[in-house]
Structure 1
Amino acid sequence: MSTSSEAVTGNSASTEASVRTTARGTRLTLRAATLGRPGAPAVTGVDLDVAPGEILTVVGPSGCGKSTLLRTLAGLLAPLDGEADQDGRPLTGPSADRALVFQEDALLPWRTLRANVELPLAIQGSARTDRRRQAESWLARVGLGEQSRQLPHRVSGGQRQRAQLARALAGRPRAVLMDEPFGALDAQTRAGMQDLLVEVLHGTGATVVFVTHDVDEALFLGDRVALLGNGRLTAVREVPRPRDRTARDDPARLALRRDVLSSLGS
């Protein structure tokens, strides 16, 4: 690694330009997979292929295995049976390629927002000046430029989730795995976070698997929606006009919403 600040800046600018122009997503695949813990399978017979750059939302009733599926794709849980692959290679554990975002923000309380966002960059070995610049850039993108030196307890829950999103994306993961990240937010803040997620993902090319219990959220964000229930993956459906706020009353979207709610027993 070059030690000159000019070289570091140049390399970073080149990297960021590459991120903006190159699809960097990864393919995540489950084949005939049984997911869960030994002696306690949660979902069986899962066949799922998440395309590079796709946003897949996952819905289902409480306890149906949504979080288990996400943790399997993250490499935190090995399949009890079948296969879990990334780009055709077996998932053997966690990787910097796959970032996790939780409902609880999981920020380190003794580090400022900027220092939290710098953390994955430090783990990757980025130079201090470079990771500081990148952290400040990401915080500005999520609307926290003026709060970068605040500790997490000094900002709101929505702002902490913005910082967690910035931290997840700062390390340039090829997949972002999100476990009901906006579930604890009020409706207005939640809608704002959905729009922000769409905005900051633009140009990254990252593959996203987004678990939610909110059907409308799933149908707004997802290119496809996966339905879990009764210990199985019951369907994967294409979403008409994803990420289009004006599509809420689209007949095709309304029909899909009815089907999803019916499958959930709502």
Structure 2
Amino acid sequence: MTAAQAAVGLFDPVHPARTLVLGEAASAWWHKADAQTREVLPAHLASAGVREVYRCRGAPLLDAPTWQQAGIGLHQDPGTAAQQRLARLRATCADASPGITLHGVFLSVLGLGVLITGPSGVGKSELALDLISRGHALVADDAVELQRRAADLLVGRSSPLLAGFMEARGLGVLDIGRCHGPGAVKARERLDLIVHLDDSPRPGFSGEERLRGRRSLRTVLEVAVPEIFLARGLGHNLAPMVETACRDHWLRLTGYHAADAFEARQQLQILDPPTP
């Protein structure tokens, strides 16, 4: 939940949000409170930072001038349930989150959101189709809309126009849901990993990169996203590489790093070599 979404909440006179939604629960509190408590409520909430109040189904009748005098905007929505209004307001806040559009193919692979990037013609669509045929799902092709929903949470989706469609050179535009079934398309996914395809004919790897891979962190909307560089020259079938990168990423999230484990085993062999 973003800070903007957290600033919208149900009625709470003790720890109120900036925007309050009043419903049946507020009515129960209202009828239990004495007259003096109800009278000073607008001023109390205003001093706590409340700026807007939505009166929804089941909420008590409120005197609009009193609330406006306290500096709180009062919105009448008696036909809508409080939870429904709350969900709409938070959805509006989410749509207003900072966003950016990146070029690439965005997929859901083994429970991770993977953005495949690289220069035009490097084989992003071919790799994406290979992954889809292996049971993974397309989220967005070409133009990936990303929004920052929380401090370290990026959520990606397709534009409504392109949703479910993908362009592959030689095949044209494809309807992925109709070709591979509805499970092959996903509406949105968290961005967890970026896989950048390198089209260098003979990409060189340093000793450290051979041990730990060619990795970096890419900043997207002020969020650091792990990025892996895969050489197209390593082979035409990179789908198993991406799947394995995802499995390795899950291990890294638990704190396990294969390179560190290998170095520890190597160090143990040096310090305490096995007896011949």
**TM-score normalised according to structure 1 size:** 0.25
- Richer in strand (by share): 2
- Richer in helix (by share): 1
Which one scores higher on RCO, CA 8 angstroms, separation ≥ 6?
Answer: 1
**TM-score normalised according to structure 2 size:** 0.24
Higher-Rg structure is: 2
